[in-house]
Amino acid sequence: MKKTTILIIAVLFTAIFNYSFGTGVHDSLSKNTGEAFHIATLVINADVTIVLVNNDEAALEATGNKAFKKYIRLWKTGDTLVINANKDRNFLNGTIYVPASALRKIQVNSKARVRSLFALQIPNLDVTINGACDFSISNVGEVTLAGTENYSFEEDRLVTQLPASFRKKKE
C-alpha cells in the first residue's frame, strides 16, 4: 500500500513539473496582435541584427539567447518602433524581424546590422546613418541614404532594371 501511494505521488509531481517546464520559456519574443502591425519609422539604438520582412502579415519578432531577451527593448509609439538595449553590449547574435511594408524612414544610431529577407517593395525609403552600422538591403524603389556630422558612409549601390513582366499589377 505504501509503495502504491508513493508511486501515485511521484507520478503526480512528475506531471506537474513536466507541465510547468513545458509552458514557461519560449524561444522568441513576438508581438502579434489581431490587427495589422504597421511601422513607418524605425529607430535602432542597439547593436543588433535587424531583418526587414516585406510581408503585410509578418509579425514583429525577436529571437536570441537569454541575455538578448533580457536587455533588448522594443518600444512602439504610434507608427514608430524604437529598438533599445539596457546594456551597452554587442547583441548581434540575436535577430529582430521587422515588418517593413509600411516603412518610410530608418535611423540607425548604433553598430547594428540591417538586412532584408527578400527584395523590399518600398517606393521611397529614407535612411539616416548615425552609427558604425552595416546596412545592406534590396529594395524595389528609391533608397535615400544620409549621414550625420559624426558619421559618414561608404555606399555601394547596384541598380538593376526589372523585367517588364514583373511590373504588371497583380490581380
What is residue 61's three-state secondary structure? strand
* CB-CB contact of 23 with 69 (8 Å): no
For residue 168, tell me if it sits in a domain.
no
In a domain, 145, yes or no: yes
The pLDDT value recorded for residue 79 is 92
pLDDT of 6 strictly over 50: yes
In a domain, 4, yes or no: no
Highest averaged pLDDT of the listed ranges 5-9, 12-16, 28-32, 85-89: 85-89
- Residue at 117 is within a domain: yes
Residue 47 to residue 77: CA distance in whole angstroms: 21
- From 11-25, 42-56, 141-155, the region with the lowest mean pLDDT: 11-25
* 10 in a structural domain: no
Model pTM score: 0.73
Tell me what the pLDDT averaged over the chain comes to: 81
CATH of the domain at 98: 2.160.20.120
Residue 165 in domain: no
Tally Cβ neighbours within 10 Å of residue 135. 19
Positive or negative CA dihedral for 15, 16, 21, 22?
positive
Domain that holds residue 99: 28-153
| CA dist., res. 133 & res. 147, Å (int) | 11
- Specify if 20 maps to a domain: no
The total of structural domains in the chain comes to: 1
Q: Are strands 80-85 and 72-77 parallel, antiparallel or unpaired?
A: antiparallel
Which residue type sits at 74?
L
Query: 146 pLDDT band (50/70/90 cuts)?
Result: very high
Residue 11 located in a structural domain: no
